[in-house]
Amino acid sequence: ISVCYKEPYKVVESGNIGFTLPIDIHLKNEGHPKVVRFVYTMFWGVTEWVEYERCEGITFENPSLNFYEKLLQAATV
């Protein structure tokens, strides 16, 4: 942990780091699932530029009519 008490407030570190980053999406619906979790593994400090894109798909089986309408509205935004 680095802490700066005086100006300039700048921390410079070098090296490599890797960690997992969980992302929870909370859904307001009557059915399940209430929370959808995606886990990303992040790596920083590699020697070359890394560009990464990831697409996730979720299938809702038998959603309520209210939730289905909300999904359709969200898809058109």
Gap between the Cα atoms of 75 and 67, Å rounded: 12
The pTM assigned to this predicted structure is 0.52
Which residues, including other chains, have CB under 8 Å from residue 35's CB and lie 6 or more apart? 24, 25, 26, 27
Question: Is 70 a residue whose pLDDT tops 60?
Answer: yes
Task: Give the chain's largest Cα–Cα span.
Answer: 58
What pLDDT score does 12 carry? 64
Q: Model confidence over 10-61: pLDDT tens digits?
A: 666 666 777 788 888 888 777 666 888 888 887 776 666 666 677 888 888 8
Question: Is 3 a residue whose pLDDT tops 60?
Answer: yes
